[in-house]
Amino acid sequence: MRRLATSAFCLALTAPTGQAQEATLPPSASVGFYGLPGLVDMPTGEALPDGELVTTVGSFAGITRTTLAFQFAPRISASFRYSALEDWDSDGFSTYYDRSFDLRLLLLTENEWRPSLTLGFQDFIGTGIYSGEFLAASKHFFDDRLTVSAGLGWGRLGSHGAIGSTGSRPDRDIGEGGKLEADQWFRGDFAPFGGLEWRPIDRLSIKAEYSSDNYDIEDGEKGIFERKSPYNFGIEYQLSEDVRIGAYSLYGSEFGLMASLAINPARPPQGGIRDAAPPPVLTRPSRSVRPDLYTVDWAESEDLRGQVTEMTSEAMLEQKLELEALRLTPTTATAFVRNAGYNAEAQALGRTARIMSRTMPSSIETFTIVQTARGGVRLPAVTLQRRDVETFEVQPDGAEQMQARRVTDTPVEAPHWSEFAPGIYPGFAWQVGPYLRTSLFDPDQPFRADLGINLGASWTPVPGLVFAGSVAKKLIGNLDDVTRELDLQLPHVRSDYALYDKHGDPWIQNLYGAYYFQPGGDFYGRVTAGYLERMFAGVSTELLWAPFDSNIALGAEINYARQRDFEGGFGLQDYDVVTGHASIYWEVVPQYHAQLDVGRYLAGDEGATLSVERVFENGWTVGAFATKTNVDDDEFGEGSFDKGITMSIPLEWFVGRSTRATSSFTMRPLTRDGGAKLSVPGRLHGIVDQGSERRLDDQWGRFWR
């Protein structure tokens, strides 16, 4: 009755979503038409804030540049640019599409008496229409109201008003593109450029610059626009912390517009994660006060043990966790837990510990929590003392104390059949949801997409054994109207993607059985057989050695794959291949991860893939990869070798609520057949990495959240 009276009056005590504070503005470096710190068309010596990811679209004279720039480290930034040049009329296209990569190094940071200094390489591996190098310096004055920048440019950036020359710049041998053109760097004429940015009020910038780019091709040969003057002017407005727009007068003849969106993993749009409050820790009366509570008779009773398991299991479900099994001794409890709800592993641990404090008999002094994944893979075990859980819930440095006191160890023995929670095995699950697939950068149509529906199901009869499959049906889209036929020399292991879209709808995305095993210690194993991906079926085996406390893991994967037919059913084509890799996964320094795979690829070519990623503490990753195999550039086709950009963003970062869902992208400027890898569902490293000490530590602050 009392409880009723209370809850009847209780109201919500919650910040509505989106109440993140209007943070003080800005001022990160403003970007120019190339999407990197710049004035209008010229670069400055500044860098973006660390981790900043800026997307910029700028257009003038029928030239539209879309740039994704990333400040990979405080002093290193990289960007990918896709440009459309109207009326270029080359190779039979009226609009020419160009891909280019830039790299910038901040050599000196600004201080009281010196400017910042940046070394830049523009378009250093593309087809080279934007290629140029520069050295630029910037200095802020009058409380950042005025920024003065000046620099020296080579290549394109030294094409107007040259004041000297460093040898002669060799012509770029474009070939299939995609190569470093180091012999051009800082060669040929060089010319000065520079300008001012004035901020009369916080959100407004007025820019004026002198450009050293003569637009030789655009103004001359191609006649896209007339370059009448080297002076450019612009006015920019910061709409919000993330969005900036600008209008410009360029080269005395053209009007331009630009917009940029800046996001940063350190700046979540909702201001942080807001989950429902965790259950409070329940402290036990001391042994001297209630000795009866500390008896261990319960451990003898199958019935009481079952009750403890059931109670824990129910309490965990309410916290978006699933109890897979519970191992009890009179003084210890080991919970095998599936973390269904939390991107932060530490938060799942903390909530499990809180629940255990509420449901475990008082005689239990030690909690061991084993996270399980993919139908029973046991990740490293974390052991906490119950007394610590009780004490540090309410200490100011409670999180730090728990971190110092937790003990992590290699995975424990698998649960005995009697220890499983009811209803866990056999497990059946299905899901239905929409999918979005895109195809970028086809010169006929740079953006294509399909929206459809995807139905998946899985059955886990016993721990470690998973049968799963999914089918998909397109609802709307234009991926199937790719008409471009390529004359390629390697087996068509990836380049027939359009035929799959054309002929296979609906299709079986995958249908397979997977067996996970743990031979002991830090070893993990997997065998997967069936229809593994849309283009290949086969058998895949993998072994991984991944100590929980090491920054290195080693893996090996050997697969036999046979190409599937285009119809998306069970049919197979004749092409088959044995493919596989030895892999090293290495956290070089905190947040910077490298992976090297050496082996044989789908087209039978042999070589290596190097991936470099920045992994932020909150789970954001941004990286790039390149694969070089023993096919020469002609054989590979346009682009010369396989490369791309990867990004993965935890959904919780967007929505401000814990969820394990993550959206991941891989963007390749070109899809060819060389250096292609089999895509196997449920590869081990991604699963096992969740249990590493690094993952725990990265978000340990969420233990008590």
Partner 1 sequence: MGTVLAMTIGRLHRGLYLALAGLLLLAACGTDRTGTSGMSTIRDVVGDLPKPSGAKPSGAAAMSPEALATINQPLMVVAIPDIETQAVLYVAATNGGVATWKASNNATVLMDGPVLFATRGIGPDLLSAETRALRQMLEAGRTGQYSRDLRYLDGLDQIVVVPLDCALNVQGNENLTIVNRSQPTRHMQEICRRPDGKQLRNEYWLGADGTLWQSRQWISDTLGYMATQRLVH
Which one, 219 or 390, has the nearer CB to partner 1?
Answer: 390
* Tokens encoding 474: 């397109």
CA nearest neighbour of 29 among 52, 54, 47: 47
Which one, 55 or 332, has the nearer CB to partner 1?
Answer: 55
> Which of the ranges 84-92, 233-241, 287-295, 560-568 carries the binding residues for partner 1, by CB under 8 A?
233-241
Q: What SS3 class is residue 174? A: coil
Site for partner 1 in 566-585 (CB under 8 A): none
Q: Is 476 in the site for partner 1 (CB under 8 A)?
A: no
Q: What are phi and psi of 594, to 5 degrees?
A: -125, 150
Least Å from the CB of residue 207 to partner 1 = 19
Q: Is 341 in the site for partner 1 (CB under 8 A)?
A: yes
Among 187, 405, 657, 685, contact with partner 1 (rule: CB under 8 A) = 657
Task: For residues 266 and 260, give the distance between their C-alpha atoms in angstroms, rounded to a whole number.
Answer: 18
Site for partner 1 in 402-431 (CB under 8 A): 428-431
Which residue, chain included where needed, has tokens 């699963």? 687
x/- letters, 199..228, toward partner 1 (CB under 8 A) = --x-x-------------------------
User: How many alpha carbons lie under 13 Å from residue 224 in its C-beta half-sphere?
Assistant: 23
Which one, 175 or 686, has the nearer CB to partner 1?
Answer: 686
Site for partner 1 in 249-268 (CB under 8 A): 264-268
Residue 376 CA, chain-centre distance (Å), reads 26
Least Å from the CB of residue 678 to partner 1 = 24
Least Å from the CB of residue 322 to partner 1 = 6
Q: Are 275 and 17 in contact (CB under 8 A)?
A: no
Which residue, chain included where needed, has tokens 């929505």? 655
Q: Are 555 and 583 in contact (CB under 8 A)?
A: yes
Q: What are phi and psi of 431, to 5 degrees?
A: -155, 150
Least Å from the CB of residue 661 to partner 1 = 4
Least Å from the CB of residue 7 to partner 1 = 5
Among 89, 390, 419, 567, contact with partner 1 (rule: CB under 8 A) = 390
Among 94, 329, 395, 418, contact with partner 1 (rule: CB under 8 A) = 395
Least Å from the CB of residue 386 to partner 1 = 13
Q: Are 241 and 269 in contact (CB under 8 A)?
A: no
Least Å from the CB of residue 60 to partner 1 = 24
Site for partner 1 in 266-325 (CB under 8 A): 266-278, 280-283, 317, 320-322
- Give the CA distances from residue 202 to residues 23, 240, 340, 695, in Å, rounded to whole numbers and listed in that order: 13, 11, 44, 39
Least Å from the CB of residue 651 to partner 1 = 5
Least Å from the CB of residue 564 to partner 1 = 24
Site for partner 1 in 2-41 (CB under 8 A): 2, 5-7, 9-22
Least Å from the CB of residue 400 to partner 1 = 7
Q: Are 48 and 28 in contact (CB under 8 A)?
A: yes
Q: Is 329 in the site for partner 1 (CB under 8 A)?
A: no
Task: For residues 269 and 17, give the distance between their C-alpha atoms in angstroms, rounded to a whole number.
Answer: 10
Task: For residues 674 and 676, give the distance between their C-alpha atoms in angstroms, rounded to a whole number.
Answer: 6
Among 149, 368, 621, 659, contact with partner 1 (rule: CB under 8 A) = 659
Q: What are phi and psi of 87, to 5 degrees?
A: 60, 25
Which one, 384 or 676, has the nearer CB to partner 1?
Answer: 384
Which one, 187 or 274, has the nearer CB to partner 1?
Answer: 274
Residue 355 CA, chain-centre distance (Å), reads 32
Q: What are phi and psi of 250, to 5 degrees?
A: -120, 135
**Torsion angle, alpha carbons of 53, 59, 65, 68, to 10:** 10
* Tokens encoding 506: 């609906």
> Which of the ranges 64-72, 161-169, 622-630, 660-668 carries the binding residues for partner 1, by CB under 8 A?
660-668
> From the CB of residue 421, how many other CB atoms can be counted at a distance below 10 Å?
21
Site for partner 1 in 611-650 (CB under 8 A): 616-618, 649
Which one, 403 or 408, has the nearer CB to partner 1?
Answer: 403
Task: For residues 467 and 681, give the distance between their C-alpha atoms in angstroms, rounded to a whole number.
Answer: 11
Least Å from the CB of residue 56 to partner 1 = 16
Residue 168 is given by DSSP the state -
> Which of the ranges 129-137, 247-255, 391-399, 670-678 carries the binding residues for partner 1, by CB under 8 A?
391-399
- Give the CA distances from residue 381 to residues 45, 334, 617, in Å, rounded to whole numbers and listed in that order: 49, 9, 21
Among 310, 400, 419, 638, contact with partner 1 (rule: CB under 8 A) = 400
Residue 658 is given by DSSP the state -
Least Å from the CB of residue 459 to partner 1 = 11
Q: What are phi and psi of 319, to 5 degrees?
A: -105, 20
Q: Is 525 in the site for partner 1 (CB under 8 A)?
A: no
CA nearest neighbour of 232 among 245, 255, 251: 251
Q: Is the peptide bond before 426 cis (omega within 30 degrees of 0)?
A: yes
Task: For residues 77 and 35, give the distance between their C-alpha atoms in angstroms, rounded to a whole number.
Answer: 12
Least Å from the CB of residue 343 to partner 1 = 9
Least Å from the CB of residue 38 to partner 1 = 23
Least Å from the CB of residue 570 to partner 1 = 24
Task: For residues 375 and 461, give the distance between their C-alpha atoms in angstroms, rounded to a whole number.
Answer: 9
> Which of the ranges 85-93, 183-191, 234-242, 626-634 carries the binding residues for partner 1, by CB under 8 A?
234-242
Q: Are 158 and 189 in contact (CB under 8 A)?
A: yes
Site for partner 1 in 165-204 (CB under 8 A): 201, 203
Which one, 1 or 182, has the nearer CB to partner 1?
Answer: 1
Site for partner 1 in 663-702 (CB under 8 A): 663, 698-702
Site for partner 1 in 428-467 (CB under 8 A): 428-436, 454, 456
Which one, 60 or 620, has the nearer CB to partner 1?
Answer: 620
CA nearest neighbour of 593 among 619, 570, 572: 619
Task: For residues 425 and 292, give the distance between their C-alpha atoms in angstroms, rounded to a whole number.
Answer: 36
The size of the interface with partner 1 (CB under 8 A), counted in residues, is 95
Q: Is 235 in the site for partner 1 (CB under 8 A)?
A: no
Which one, 455 or 529, has the nearer CB to partner 1?
Answer: 455
Burial of 220 (0-12, 13-18, 19+ CB in 10 A): exposed
